[in-house]
Structure 1
């Protein structure tokens, strides 16, 4: 099974110069905890609700700060034609719950999350991923 078969294609996007309040509003309205950040048609970062609340607040930033101020620029992604098992193993190793999905032309085409794996019917991949990301922190 390929990632394209299980990924979410209706992905909300934000820009690096967008205000954190607007990005948080998009997350709230779409009921998501993560937004890819795009600029000039390219993926330049990822923004999570945790980036806003923990990194932003820790730095004393407010709602008027820019996405660029707290986004993660170390972008991990997968390709839409990659095998589900391969991506699950990679996500488990990286300990991430979601990855942007790009085409071989490097265009953002979707996002794949722990929930997508859970609903895919591929129990082995789901189990691999859950074991990798659900690591207890002591």
Structure 2
């Protein structure tokens, strides 16, 4: 069985919780990504997404140059380990309707990578279509994904 270690991205850029929302948005633009893990050192604290910025900051009237990532990040983040199977993580992604999952070391909790639906679609031998169908289906109002 193929493991997450074989398909994950290991060179993950992170943002600190004290950084401004504006800086997080700039990083997303530079990296061409829609989410960035929020870390203190190499400890994962949460994730900040383009949706978090739009809904929790801009729509709430916060000044992007003053509001911090820590104020708007998603804290209850689903994670996986590098030893989990691709099939297991694809199933979790489908169930939770999420497109990316931080990979943490099972012992220390340190961020060691990230796996996206794109990684799984291009690098994994398991089909990602089922997970994509579940992720792309409408979710209940108020569900952040």
Same fold, TM-score > 0.5, yes or no: yes
Q: TM-score, structure 2 length as denominator?
A: 0.88
Residue of structure 1 equivalent to 2:110: 107
Structure 1 position 113, deviation (Å): 0.6
Structure 1 position 24, deviation (Å): 1.0
Gap regions ≥5 residues in structure 1:
none
Q: Which runs of 4+ in 1 moved over 6 A?
A: none
Distance 1:95 1:137, change over 3 A: closer
Distance in 2 (CA, whole Å) between partners of 1:14 and 1:25 is 11
What whole-Å deviation, never above 9, does each CA across 1:21-45 have from its counterpart, x for those lacking one?
1111111111111000011431111
* 3-state SS of 1:79 partner: coil
Residue of structure 2 equivalent to 1:57: 58
* 1:131 is the counterpart of 2:133: yes
* 1:38 is the counterpart of 2:63: no
Distance 1:121 1:100, change over 3 A: closer
Aligned residues: 137
Residue of structure 1 equivalent to 2:143: none
Instruction: Say what the alpha-carbon RMSD is for the aligned residues.
Output: 1.5
After superposition, where does 1:45-124 map in structure 2 within 5 Å? 45-64=46-65, 65-104=67-106, 105-124=108-127
Distance in 1 (CA, whole Å) between partners of 2:63 and 2:72 is 11
Mean alpha-carbon deviation: is it higher for 54-63 or for 24-33?
54-63
